[in-house]
Amino acid sequence: MLLEDRRFLLQCLEDLDASLRKLNSRLFVIRGQPANVFPRLFKFHPFLLQSAPLPHPFLHTLSYHSSPSCFSLTHNSSPSCFSMPHNSSPSCFGLTHDSSPSCFIVPHNSSPSCFIEWKITRLTFEYDSEPFGKERDAAIKKLAMEAGVEVVIELNGGQPPLTYKRFQTLISRMDPPEPPVEPLSDAFMGRCVTPISDDHAEKYGVPSLEELGFDTEGLPSAVWPGGETEALTRIERHLERKAWVANFERPRMNANSLLASPTGLSPYLRFGCLSCRLFYFKLTDLYRKVKKNSSPPLSLYGQLLWREFFYTAATTNPRFDKMEGNPICVRIPWDRNPEALAKWAEAKTGFPWIDAIMTQLRQEGWIHHLARHAVACFLTRGDLWISWEEGMKVFEELLLDADWSVNAGSWMWLSCSSFFQQFFHCYCPVGFGRRTDPNGDFISFWQDLLRGQTTRGVGGGWGAMPFFATGEPQTQRGTAEREMEGGLRLAVLPLPVPENEESWLEVNAGPST
């Protein structure tokens, strides 16, 4: 996990702690692994033993959260204490529209030497549909039961649908999700006050990037500031586009669309800063106001439903992120080419459009969904013929919004390994980029970071790049057309790749998006 991901996470925790302070409470960040920490929390804690009796039974309930899915069409409890899942990132930080958070577990090599008895009698947590979450939660549940703690959990059984159309059919028959709970208030909290020690910041404060081993000298401000406060501000901006909601028109794509937007929400959904249920109902309410109380179509919730679809598809498939042993994944004889994979991941392919996208990903931790389509197609079935699993790993490391289920599902879909309908639909690494960014503005935006590499057209947008009638770039050896079984193809050699016959790449020159 890179610095941007950690910074976003810590900002989320800082924002959560600030919100809790307004309710006379604090966030307790505990160093350690959940399976090691929870037994101690159930039994020991020196500070509370020295303090007055707990004023309210609310404090006897420890809520632990790990699931990345909050949308109530699947399942949702009201978590208030978080633990890091497989990729060391929490998935739900809600104070305003979930119950009050009180504790966050941070993986650490050692646990606190001194714990206090929290007198916990109930543990609640949201069902995690992903394989690593099930294993971890089972261990926590077992520990809680052994300690005499009542465990409350909501399960969602049944077989998952494997096509989006079928998924839509099923949820259209379901009752609407329950509205989100109201924001917590002083009146709701009543006399409930969390005892806070003078050394709380030292013992239970949010760790810094430096404490986690990151060098922050010269670190620029965050493109995506973390936290629920920022998420709620962004959703209001997002919903200001009433014309889009009224007509359900997709925003027109241009070079500016490729840049991080102040209305972007995906990292906040992934980390749970923004409640999926809240987003769902805000969309619904606005649509009905604009459309005079008419019922909104399912397509209005596309962003949320695709997310839920992949969660649902992965819930009973522990091999969802693998080709081998995955019952829904097509077996494809992908090439093993570590050098080409590294060139792609490090933005050194020689294709300015692809390299600009990957540079943005490495710098900001986010890229537009169509940019994801372009680089995923380039890595897999379009150009390099490298397994989608390798691309998924890079995205998991670099993307702020890389949910496990959504990330794996998207890569299977874009590589035509599963969920696909039109396998011949490709994203040309030049033609698609030219249509999306005809003036080369996006490439020029990243040219300072790309400068110095042997790339085609960097510094002058698309104008400095030589083209043939096919729309493919010229190479050092020229562009050789040849007839091959299945249609016309071009043999091209990206400049950073060593010049030899074995390194030539076959780029599909057929139908492209």
pLDDT digits 0-9 by tens, 453-469: 544 443 345 544 433 32
Decide which of 26 and 50 is more confident.
26
430 has pLDDT over 90? no
Query: Half-sphere exposure of residue 115, counting CA atoms within 13 Å on the CB side?
Result: 19
Q: Work out the mean pLDDT of the chain and round it to a whole number.
A: 72
What's residue 498's pLDDT? 37
- Domain 3-159+182-189 class in CATH: alpha beta
What's residue 68's pLDDT? 34
Please name the residue ranges forming H helices in 291-336: 302-314
9 has pLDDT over 90? yes
- Cβ atoms of 453 and 355 within 8 Å: the answer is yes
Where exactly are the structural domains of the chain?
Answer: 3-159+182-189, 228-314, 333-394+422-513
Decide which of 487 and 138 is more confident.
138
Query: Half-sphere exposure of residue 290, counting CA atoms within 13 Å on the CB side?
Result: 17
- Per-residue pLDDT of 207-246, as tens digits, reads 999 988 999 998 889 999 999 999 999 999 988 876 666 6
Looking at domain 333-394+422-513, its CATH architecture is Orthogonal Bundle (1.10)
pTM: 0.75
**Per mean pLDDT, which of 280-284, 371-375, 418-422 is the most reliable?**
371-375
- Per-residue pLDDT of 473-506, as tens digits, reads 443 333 333 332 333 333 333 444 333 333 333 3
Beta-carbon contacts of residue 507 (< 8 Å; ≥ 6 apart)? 382, 383, 428, 429, 472, 489, 490, 491, 492
86 has pLDDT over 50? no
Q: Please choose, from the candidates 288, 296, 270, the residue with its C-alpha nearest in 3D space to the C-alpha of residue 410.
A: 270
Q: Which residues pair with 29 in a beta bridge?
A: 104
- Chain-centroid distance of CA 73 in Å reads 19
CATH of domain 228-314: 1.25.40.80
Decide which of 246 and 310 is more confident.
310
Q: Please choose, from the candidates 135, 129, 151, the residue with its C-alpha nearest in 3D space to the C-alpha of residue 70.
A: 129
Beta-carbon contacts of residue 76 (< 8 Å; ≥ 6 apart)? 69, 70, 126, 154, 177, 277
What's residue 315's pLDDT? 80
36 has pLDDT over 60? yes
What's residue 369's pLDDT? 92
List the Cα angle 438/264/432 in 5-degree steps: 25
What single letter denotes the amino acid at residue 29? Answer: V
Cα(251)–Cα(237) distance, integer angstroms? 14
Q: Grade residue 88 by pLDDT with cuts at 50, 70 and 90.
A: very low
Q: Grade residue 359 by pLDDT with cuts at 50, 70 and 90.
A: very high
Instruction: Give percent of the chain above pLDDT 70.
Output: 61
What's residue 174's pLDDT? 79
375 has pLDDT over 90? yes
Q: Please choose, from the candidates 469, 507, 510, the residue with its C-alpha nearest in 3D space to the C-alpha of residue 486.
A: 510
Cα(349)–Cα(316) distance, integer angstroms? 37
Query: Binding site for FAD: what residues are annotated?
Result: 303-310, 401-403
Relative orientation angle of helices 302-314 and 404-414, to the nearest 10 degrees: 100
255 has pLDDT over 50? yes
Decide which of 128 and 352 is more confident.
352
